[in-house]
A and B are shown apart, each in its own frame.
Chain A
Amino acid sequence: MEVYEKVCIVCPRGCRLTIKKDETSLKGYTVEGNTCKRGAEYGIKEVTNPTRVITSTVKLKSDHLNRLPVVTKGGIPKAKMMESMKVINNVEVKPPVKEGEVIIENLLDTGVDLISSRTVEQ
């Protein structure tokens, strides 16, 4: 039987999850050790298609700040992290930029946008 031990990263609590393959359950896996619903979702995702939120910066043409912090609006496949950095490293942005503004749409066809994580007026 497939059994995985994972530490949940959904919140700072860090629950220790045991994920078991279980054909009879609705999602194909059962999760133990979680203390919330999101933990169970994380557990299954972590053994089927692990994803991570990427936070980084892009170049910014501003006297005020050299780099604009950016974040993916949701997790992207873990395996694509380093590849996505190559794309992120090639972007340059001019202010004004609003927090939440899309910087790269559909990053590497993951369906997830990269957005600005702060406002820079000038």
Chain B
Amino acid sequence: MDFTLDTGNTAWMLISSVIVLMMTVPALAFFYGGMVRGKSVLNMLMMNFIAVGTVGLVWILYGYSMTFGGSTTGVGQFVDNPFEYFGLVGLTDDKSLMAASGVPALVAVAFQATFAVITVALISGAIADRIKFGSWIAFTVVWVTAVYFPLAHMVWGGGFLGVGGKVSEWLSTPIDFAGGTVVHINAGAAGLALALLLGRRKGWPTSPIRPHNLPYVMLGAALLWVGWFGFNAGSEFAADGTAGRAWINTFVATCAAMLTWLVTEKIRDGHATSLGAASGVVAGLVAITPAAAAVDSFGAIAIGAIAGTVCALAVGLKFKFGFDDALDVVGVHLVGGITGTVLIGLLATNKQGGWYPDGAQNGLLYGGGATQLITQILVAAIAVVFSFVLTYVIGSIIKAVTGLRVSEEDEVSGVDLALHGETAYETLDGSRVLTEVN
């Protein structure tokens, strides 16, 4: 493809790349960090920081090549060649993922790097308070290589779940605008697998494991929301009307989800909580991600409203089934990701500024029949199974080689001290009472 630089689009993609990186550090780090106890907040921040470090390195070395190397046939339906653009050598602008909108190849590498980073970082919420730091580092590298790069390639890099892929030939092209399957279902299913392998934290679920800093959680959620406009509107790869549609949908779905989460917990628990507002925001953002440009305003409101309630109820699943998904990666990201991905099958439209890829169809409620719904259910199921099974295998191997979990003593005294030799606060019990009254 001939390449003509478009500075407007390129500027937007550079800005998006920066604010999506902000979603991991500091936003997600503090969203999660506030939810854990004071004795493990540093470890939670560190798991997010180190994910940027490891994934950032391998992305530049071979990750981009394995995801967007350009292969579409044979093995290329599943994964790309890590050596095609190893170290980004040979990657010229005419081969840019975003060449059609005049955005240079290296900017595409930057934007997509932030997606790989946050997907890995999201998993850390499920396994808070108890994983060895070295095992987590090893996991980030192996997992992003064996699970994220292939799945992102399958959906966005010319694989069998994308435009012109096998599923597109059989049914219709799956719609995943910004990462419902690749990012959220993927991280959610992986979090579930790792949480099962690690087992429950000592005392869970009988003794209280309360969020230690809800203002951090609110701040993190708010920064995630800001960054998410880069995530979703940036996934248009251009500064145009479709990006505007994605921005509007990302905004309004999140508004609706916050409201329905709060209403749900007000009815069920008696209070509208700050943790509920923060959680509702993230649930809405997750659910609208795959649909960002592919629904109209009413579709976006419906997706957000449904996701807010569904996720508020889904965070109770871990108590029902007894898996210790510490910060609800399953309840919010897996369930929210599936909700958004499947609802596209009902609500997809390319009217009102909406857009979906070649070969996709309108949703059932927009006169498109059931084909897109079946496609969306299929691609969600494939993502769940692919991620869960591979993660379980990877986690089991690391468990056998180095072990996954810290000792009980370290877990009780706090992983901050045990793993990092630091504590976050001078007094862990806090001087709450006197500062409150004076």
Q: Are A and B associated in one complex? A: no
